[in-house]
Amino acid sequence: MESARRRTFAVISHPDAGKSTLTEALALHARVISEAGAVHGKAGRQGVVSDWLEMERARGISITSAALQFSYRDTVINLLDTPGHADFSEDTYRVLAAVDSAVMLLDAAKGLEPQTLKLFEVCRYRGIPVITFVNKWDRPGRDALALCDELVDRIGLRPMPLTWPVGVAGHFRGVLDVADGSFVRYERTAGGATVAPEERLSAERAEAEEGEDWQRAREEAELLAADGGEFDPAAFAAGTGTPVLFGAAVLNFGVRHLLDVLLELAPRPEPRVDVEGRARPLDAPFSAFVFKVQTGMDRAHRDQVAFARVCSGLFERGMVVTNATTGRPFATKYAQQVFGQQRSTVEQAYPGDVIGLVNASALRVGDTLYADKPPVRFPGLPSFAPAHFATARPVDLSRAKQFRRGVEQLESEGVVQVLRSDLRGDAVPVFAAVGPMQFDVAAHRLEHEFGCTVRLDRLPYHTVRKLGDPAQRPLIDAGHRSEVLTRTDGTELALFDDDMALRILQRRHPDLVLEPLLAEG
């Protein structure tokens, strides 16, 4: 079955860990399927003609993203892009709703960093198995054992190394292949421009040729294996353990091994569970759900692209499908594959694949599409912990009606979250977002689609909790560096200027019930 050949994953990392470099290295080893073919990279981000042009230029970032598809051995691999840097937003989290596994990319000198932790938390919540790739081993960095300890100590994730570096960070000779105890020696090529040659040596030869570096690698690997670090497929599937690989994306070291692990160990698409709790078999008629909507990527076409992950059946371009939310038909004449600025037409797609549907102004994030019987609807938009807050007001008060309509629309699409309180009143909603770029997108759309220029005033809150007992709301509202706001899903968010403001209030009212707000939930 085609779906069994699919591996659909995303890279979770902090900016600068090497995600773009790894993406290029993976595609170099594999074969990019799309004819348009060029790989995502920073140089290639220039020249996008889009409504977001000004914003992108001003920030030097790309806010378009989707999936890169390539084939490796007999497998089709879909790599979904997770925007980072200044474009980190709710969309980044939502991408994780569409993958079957994740590669956690760590900089060997930095270990777990904030954005990686947030994304990992979403993976954990969703039960997504995580493969860890320690990158930049060619540069001085931390100790391999210390990096593994950090996984245990900070996120309770058991490292199960499949390779172990020979040579400390900065003196990368190759890796010990834990599976058979042999040595895979890497050889540098000019700038890592081609697939790096590797040579496999027996343990005896490695010992003779690499001496102390080899001995140390073997001892450390044995130590970890004795400490419960042997690969355990059940722990990987359950998200309690992570296979660990070491490499240097820029030199293509360790990249082939990562592809092999994706192919051999990463989960294939599974039947997705619908709102009724029933799993839709992979061979049921076509179904998919929209995990991202991009407006006006191409000014010439004024289009809106909806990205959907196929969950069951065969997608064929031109098919007319039903949108489960509205019950309306949707024609898929313009299905594309989109990655960065590259687009190509999709003729067929299988479970695990991502399709970009153009002219999709009727589609929203969270919508389910299906063909034939029986109908199906997958769970809609999850909520993520916001980190940025701003009050929103129409600049021209006579546009209050357009403002209200616009806000409602943006909220339903998940562009921003909308919070309210009796104290602030209905006319002044608070926008909440995972990343500040969501505010720019909201303001841009309110102005251009709803004719309402808005004024956004950032609120100083940095610390967020869930209010456990609604009766305690006045205690927080009375503090002058805190307040409670209600999200449309009913969650009451207690917001504080900073940790200090929270601690002071807790000391004054030891019985306050505040729960941590998970990245998702």
For the bound state, the minimum distance from the C-beta of residue 16 to ligand GDP, rounded and expressed in Å, comes to 5
For the bound state, the minimum distance from the C-beta of residue 163 to ligand GDP, rounded and expressed in Å, comes to 15
The answer to whether residue 21 forms part of the interface with ligand GDP (CB under 6 A) is yes
Positions 189 through 248 that interact with ligand GDP (CB under 6 A)? 248
Query: Rounded to whole angstroms, how far apart are CA atoms 121 and 127?
Result: 10
Choose which of 18, 141, 296, 414 interacts with ligand GDP (CB under 6 A): 18
The answer to whether residue 135 forms part of the interface with ligand GDP (CB under 6 A) is yes
DSSP code string of 114-174 = HHHHHHHHHHHHHT--EEEEEE-TTS----HHHHHHHHHHHH--EEEESEEEES-TTS--E
- Considering the complex, state which of residue 136 and residue 185 has its C-beta at the smaller distance from ligand GDP: 136
For the bound state, the minimum distance from the C-beta of residue 134 to ligand GDP, rounded and expressed in Å, comes to 10
Query: Rounded to whole angstroms, how far apart are CA atoms 278 and 283?
Result: 14
**Residue that is written with structure tokens 């000198």 in the block:** 109
Choose which of 67, 221, 249, 475 interacts with ligand GDP (CB under 6 A): 249
CA end-to-end distance (rounded Å), the chain? 34
For the bound state, the minimum distance from the C-beta of residue 11 to ligand GDP, rounded and expressed in Å, comes to 8
Query: Rounded to whole angstroms, how far apart are CA atoms 96 and 126?
Result: 8
The answer to whether residue 252 forms part of the interface with ligand GDP (CB under 6 A) is no
Distance of CA 281 to the CA centre of its chain: 25
The answer to whether residue 2 forms part of the interface with ligand GDP (CB under 6 A) is no
For the bound state, the minimum distance from the C-beta of residue 17 to ligand GDP, rounded and expressed in Å, comes to 5
- Considering the complex, state which of residue 109 and residue 152 has its C-beta at the smaller distance from ligand GDP: 109
- Considering the complex, state which of residue 21 and residue 383 has its C-beta at the smaller distance from ligand GDP: 21
For the bound state, the minimum distance from the C-beta of residue 61 to ligand GDP, rounded and expressed in Å, comes to 10
Which has the closest alpha carbon to 474: 429, 518, 505?
505
**Residue that is written with structure tokens 């600049």 in the block:** 395
Q: What is the DSSP letter of 505?
A: H
For the bound state, the minimum distance from the C-beta of residue 171 to ligand GDP, rounded and expressed in Å, comes to 13
The answer to whether residue 116 forms part of the interface with ligand GDP (CB under 6 A) is no
The answer to whether residue 86 forms part of the interface with ligand GDP (CB under 6 A) is no
The answer to whether residue 19 forms part of the interface with ligand GDP (CB under 6 A) is yes
Show the beta-strand stretches assigned E in 13-109. 31-32, 67-72, 75-80, 101-107
Q: Token pair of 68, please?
A: 């890169």
The answer to whether residue 20 forms part of the interface with ligand GDP (CB under 6 A) is yes
For residues 95 and 80, the answer to whether their CB atoms sit within 8 Å is yes
Show the beta-strand stretches assigned E in 346-433. 348-349, 354-357, 368-370, 388-394, 417-420, 430-433
- Of the candidate spans 114-122, 133-141, 293-301, 414-422, the one that interacts with ligand GDP by CB under 6 A turns out to be 133-141
* Residue 230, number of CB atoms within 10 A of its CB: 13
Positive or negative, the Cα torsion across 406, 411, 415, 419?
positive
Choose which of 90, 138, 274, 303 interacts with ligand GDP (CB under 6 A): 138
The answer to whether residue 17 forms part of the interface with ligand GDP (CB under 6 A) is yes
**Residue that is written with structure tokens 């007319």 in the block:** 320
3-state secondary structure of 109: coil
Q: Which residue is nearest to ligand GDP (CB)?
A: 18
Q: Token pair of 123, please?
A: 């993976």
- Considering the complex, state which of residue 82 and residue 383 has its C-beta at the smaller distance from ligand GDP: 82
- Considering the complex, state which of residue 19 and residue 465 has its C-beta at the smaller distance from ligand GDP: 19
**Total interface residues for ligand GDP by CB under 6 A:** 15
Choose which of 136, 272, 309, 343 interacts with ligand GDP (CB under 6 A): 136
Instruction: Residue count of the chain, please give it.
Output: 521
The answer to whether residue 83 forms part of the interface with ligand GDP (CB under 6 A) is no
* Residue 507, number of CB atoms within 10 A of its CB: 9
For the bound state, the minimum distance from the C-beta of residue 116 to ligand GDP, rounded and expressed in Å, comes to 10
Cα angle: 137, vertex 82, 170; to 5 degrees: 5
Q: Token pair of 254, please?
A: 């360790």
- Considering the complex, state which of residue 68 and residue 249 has its C-beta at the smaller distance from ligand GDP: 249
For the bound state, the minimum distance from the C-beta of residue 319 to ligand GDP, rounded and expressed in Å, comes to 35
Choose which of 53, 237, 250, 265 interacts with ligand GDP (CB under 6 A): 250
- Of the candidate spans 15-23, 158-166, 302-310, 318-326, the one that interacts with ligand GDP by CB under 6 A turns out to be 15-23
Positions 397 through 416 that interact with ligand GDP (CB under 6 A)? none
For residues 284 and 312, the answer to whether their CB atoms sit within 8 Å is yes
Known binding-site residues equal 81-85
Known binding-site residues for GTP equal 81-85
For the bound state, the minimum distance from the C-beta of residue 105 to ligand GDP, rounded and expressed in Å, comes to 7
Query: Rounded to whole angstroms, how far apart are CA atoms 339 and 317?
Result: 18
- Considering the complex, state which of residue 28 and residue 505 has its C-beta at the smaller distance from ligand GDP: 28
For the bound state, the minimum distance from the C-beta of residue 31 to ligand GDP, rounded and expressed in Å, comes to 21
- Considering the complex, state which of residue 248 and residue 505 has its C-beta at the smaller distance from ligand GDP: 248
Positive or negative, the Cα torsion across 262, 264, 266, 270?
positive
Query: Rounded to whole angstroms, how far apart are CA atoms 495 and 469?
Result: 15
Q: Token pair of 250, please?
A: 């820029």
- Considering the complex, state which of residue 13 and residue 242 has its C-beta at the smaller distance from ligand GDP: 13
- Binding footprint of ligand GDP on the chain (CB under 6 A): 13, 15-21, 135-136, 138-139, 248-250
